Amino acid sequence: MSKRKREEKKGGDLLAFLGESPTGGESRPAAASSTPTATKEHIVEEIYSFISSRGSASKDELFKWGRSKGYTTADIMRAVDELSKEGRIKRRLDEEGRLIYTSSK
């Protein structure tokens, strides 16, 4: 048998690469997070409070603040979309073309 084939046989299967065993369970324990993850509702309320306390906030300011709180870009965007759908915030462009979020209540 060639050296390459022996090396290929040493490795695990595709599921091992993904961290799962062929039986469907995980092959290694999941890493425990040191801080509890924030709930979706909590993130939405925190973002609304940030925007409403200031009256308005640029997208850059919101993302900088959100990252300092440990929120992901996806968390922030989901919250902004939800707040917009509920009518609690409005999106607009300022005179320089930057996206601004304003509190509508």
32-50: pLDDT as tens digits: 333 345 688 899 999 999 9
The CA distance from 99 to 84, in Å, is: 13
The CA distance from 103 to 87, in Å, is: 9
End-to-end CA distance of the chain: 73
Residue % of the chain over a pLDDT of 70: 63
> What local confidence, expressed as pLDDT, does residue 40 receive?
87
pTM of the full structure: 0.61
Mean pLDDT of 65-82: 94
